[in-house]
Amino acid sequence: MQTPPDSWDDAYDKLPVTYSHLKGLAWTTVREQYALANFLPKQGMMLEVGTASGVTAAIVATYRPDARIVSLDIFEPAAHADEDRVSHDDADPLKRFGNWADNARKNQSLFVGTLMQFRRLQPVVRFDLIFIDGGHNFESVYNDLLLAPSLLKEGGTIICHDYNDPTWFQVTDAVNQFVQEQPFDLVSTVGSLAIMKARSI
């Protein structure tokens, strides 16, 4: 994995992020991409809920070539609450799907469907890192958060994107309610990543 730069400048926190060798937009900042890779063990397993063009997933897959990254998405029309980012990505879900296929590294795979459907079809595999960035309304985020622990390895990490972003206040509400009600702690934040671990007893 590349080492992060010694000193971060503002560019590492800016959106949108595009890469000349990848199609579409990463909805995460460079700083967030490094953080995701750092929470994924070298030979670990990551599950990304909501992948869009798969740019974030491809970057993490490049940082962690010996890890396995599974992404899922329902490929619905892009959320227009965030015009700034949507205007840089493909609102057309079929284009995002095509981008994903073109961007994917060898250590990536894709499931088309919801987290509930994914768990029903493969109830056995457990992940070191579950990254939630799918539906952004309260119910969707909260339900994904409730499902995540059953797919998480012991000691694993759940990370939810867009926490404390005023555009996505329902994401913040869902994360806060989840850590209030479930045995998980919000241990830190990086950019808009809410990083959660099972509470130690």
- H helices of the chain, in order, are 30-38, 55-63, 83-86, 93-103, 115-121, 138-147, 169-181
At closest approach, how far in Å is the CB of 1 from ligand SAM? 18
Taking the least distance from each CB to ligand SAM, the nearer of 148 and 155 is 148
Taking the least distance from each CB to ligand SAM, the nearer of 55 and 194 is 55
Taking the least distance from each CB to ligand SAM, the nearer of 41 and 93 is 93
Q: Which residues bind ligand SAM (CB under 6 A)?
A: 26-28, 48-52, 55-56, 72-76, 93, 96, 114, 133-135, 140
Residue nearest to ligand SAM (CB): 50
At closest approach, how far in Å is the CB of 73 from ligand SAM? 4
| Omega within 30 of 0 (cis) for the link into 93 | no
Q: Which residue has the tokens 């808009």?
A: 192
- Cα 147 to Cα 44, 117, 118: the distances in Å are 20, 11, 10
Q: How far apart are CA 141 and CA 48, in angstroms?
A: 13
At closest approach, how far in Å is the CB of 199 from ligand SAM? 26
DSSP state of 93: H
What contacts 101, CB < 8 A, 6 or more positions away? 110
Taking the least distance from each CB to ligand SAM, the nearer of 74 and 198 is 74
At closest approach, how far in Å is the CB of 161 from ligand SAM? 7
